[in-house]
Amino acid sequence: MRIGILKADSVRDEFQSQFGDYQGMFQRVLDSAADGALEYRTYDVLAGGYPESIDECDGYVITGSRESVYDDQEWIRRLGSFIVALHEQQKKTVGICFGHQLIAHVLGGETTPADGGWGVGVHEFQVEGEPSWMSAKTGSFRLLCSHRDQVARLPEDARVFAKSDFCPVAGFTLGDHFVTFQGHPEFVKPYAEILMQSRKELLESAYDKGMASLDKTTDEGLVATWMLEFLQH
């Protein structure tokens, strides 16, 4: 299976020697959940990198970004147009954080700053229903998070499958081709920790809560399995 990574940000230069860049993070966690070999192609959408054809890959992953989906930037508008094309062709796609929010935003939903402020550290989400692609059933799961915005309104026909009191739309599906997660299955705790430390003043009261939450276990392997099951379903 060939997975296209639509890379919407880069790890800060001073952190790359320790953690690599985002495409490597996704490859690591997806490879850990895969039964066989996966092939990847990375497209740097900030630099205008896109596949020549949507069918160049079997499915796509849209990464997180430090930007907001409602920012007036050409690269965000172009990525939004590509999402519309993916939707029209019903191409299997997974949206993570910014990707989750942008899919909602360009397909008739809305993303806004969250009333509760920043969501960082380990968050727990309740699972709604029993999606057919979710072979490992569970009532809840935990992921590392780092976001200030949230999906405030869903696109028509989208269905929430993950939620929390802090984040009522933490994951949704649209048709059989889009699935999204607000959390970051690609993150590891040391990276989440150093990211919070670098944003301590910006995070304000969320910082202490986020740092304390790192003692909790996370389910990135489970979510990576779900991602692959969805892409292959």
Catalytic sites, residue numbers: 97, 184, 186
Q: How many helices, marked H, and strands, marked E, lie in the chain?
A: 8, 11
SS3 string, 28-72, reads HHHHHHCCCCCEEEEEEHHHCCCCCCHHHCCEEEECCCCCCCCCC
Is the CB of residue 80 less than 8 Å from the CB of residue 7? no
d(CA 124, CA 56): 35
Query: Taking the CB of residue 1, how many other CB atoms lie within 10 A of it?
Result: 16
Q: Residue 121 pairs with which residues in a beta bridge?
A: 145
- How open is the CA angle 12-201-97, to the nearest 5 degrees? 50
